[in-house]
Amino acid sequence: MSEFDVVAGEEDLIRGYLAPLAAGCPGAFGLAEDCAVLTPQAGEDLVFTTDAIAEAVHFLADDAPDDIAWKALAVNVSDLVAKGAKPVGYLMSLAFPEAPTRAWMQAFAGGLAEAQQRFGLVLMGGDTDRRPAAPLSITIMAVGRVPSGRMLRRGGARPADRLYVTGSLGDAALGLQIRRQTRAALAWPLTGVERDFLARRYLRPEPRTGLCDILLGHAEAAMDISDGLAKDLDRLCRASVVSAEVHVERLPLSLPARTVLAACPEWVEAPLSGGDDYEILAVVARERTAAFEAAAQDAGIAVTQIGACGGGAGVTLRRSDGQTLQLTNTGYEHF
């Protein structure tokens, strides 16, 4: 049996590669049942989310299987974190165009194991199918927990609240260009290490799990940024019935992103409309900003105040010269 052999049927796939990922979940019964069971803790609500990723749409056919696995889980955990919910477990529905090789499946399961450990959740159950000629797709439903009645929403922002984002924006959009080896990306004045950094930001989003309690303690509203800040902030404003003004020069950029934007101004919108950031957009009342910033600093999570909410509606992108910026690309459209 070589690593180039393909996985021999559903039993082999489940027992050999997936059941070990469920070892930490007694209610998964080693994936021997069609269902998983969970006994909720008193005083807690459960939070559910689902996100699917498919080859050629959300990842590239030659992405490493461990990176694909990581991303599939990370994009779901990111949604939970934005609600203040701690990850608990997940179900996974896999659709393969053909049986994967053992080497592929080993690496894929390895990426899931890494992500599980980092994010603190376990596989509870799933479903596997072969769909000839279909792209590989991974659909995950993740379950998290929050104190009862405390789930954060998009709709809690009020005028004068401050807007924060975690980490840095636009890296993943640039990283995708590097992964694709586009003509533009090949010309960027970056070192190999910087290219790898940006590519990795695309391949391995890092949900801010350490921010859950801080969001619950200090934020009025939150969401994760997956389709570009401008588009996601607009969604938050609509849900909250507020406007927002963002100071474009305050957007947190990594050094490699700063280098690209300085050399190639046509990429200036990447931090605003590039997808796949998976950073958190948090809305904090003015009187809580100091406490929020201190708590984030203690947790080692970079947060940057990028603007504020106001009355009315709409998102204004304010440049340092006082002019407003109009985007040519308003963000990722799924459908």
Which residues make up the interface to a second copy (CB under 8 A)?
A: 9-10, 13, 27, 29, 32-40, 42, 44-52, 54, 56-58, 79-80, 82-83, 85, 91-93, 95-96, 99, 124-135, 137, 139, 141, 143-144, 146, 148-149, 151, 153-155, 223-224, 239, 333-335
Dihedral (CA of 107, 140, 115, 331) sign: positive
d(CA 110, CA 104) in angstroms, rounded, equals 10
The one-letter code for the residue type at 111 is G
162-166/86-96 β-pairing = unpaired
Question: How near is the Cβ of 34 to a second copy at its closest, in Å?
Answer: 4
In terms of CB distance, is 45 or 196 closer to a second copy? 45
Question: How near is the Cβ of 194 to a second copy at its closest, in Å?
Answer: 31
Determine the 3-state secondary structure of 163 from DSSP. Answer: strand
In terms of CB distance, is 127 or 298 closer to a second copy? 127
Q: List CB contacts of 36: < 8 A, sequence separation 6 or more.
A: 25, 27, 28, 29, 89, 91, 124, 125
In terms of CB distance, is 226 or 259 closer to a second copy? 226
d(CA 232, CA 303) in angstroms, rounded, equals 17
Residue tagged 């509606």 (tokens)? 313
**Quick one: DSSP state of residue 179?**
H
d(CA 234, CA 332) in angstroms, rounded, equals 13
In terms of CB distance, is 44 or 245 closer to a second copy? 44
In terms of CB distance, is 107 or 223 closer to a second copy? 223
Of the chain, the end-to-end C-alpha distance in Å amounts to 42
Question: How near is the Cβ of 155 to a second copy at its closest, in Å?
Answer: 7
Question: How near is the Cβ of 65 to a second copy at its closest, in Å?
Answer: 17
Determine the angle formed by the axes of helices 192-203 and 255-263, rounding to 10 degrees.
110
Question: How near is the Cβ of 96 to a second copy at its closest, in Å?
Answer: 7
Tell me, rounded to whole angstroms, the distance of Cα 234 from its chain centroid: 18
In terms of CB distance, is 88 or 198 closer to a second copy? 88
Question: How near is the Cβ of 169 to a second copy at its closest, in Å?
Answer: 18
* Cβ–Cβ under 8 Å, residues 282 and 164: yes
d(CA 186, CA 183) in angstroms, rounded, equals 5
In terms of CB distance, is 85 or 315 closer to a second copy? 85
In terms of CB distance, is 95 or 325 closer to a second copy? 95
The H or E element containing residue 200 is: helix 192-203
Question: How near is the Cβ of 214 to a second copy at its closest, in Å?
Answer: 18
Question: How near is the Cβ of 75 to a second copy at its closest, in Å?
Answer: 10
Question: How near is the Cβ of 213 to a second copy at its closest, in Å?
Answer: 17
Residue 155 CB-density burial (10 A; 0-12 exposed, 13-18 middle, 19+ buried): middle
In terms of CB distance, is 82 or 216 closer to a second copy? 82
d(CA 321, CA 129) in angstroms, rounded, equals 55
Dihedral (CA of 82, 83, 86, 92) sign: negative
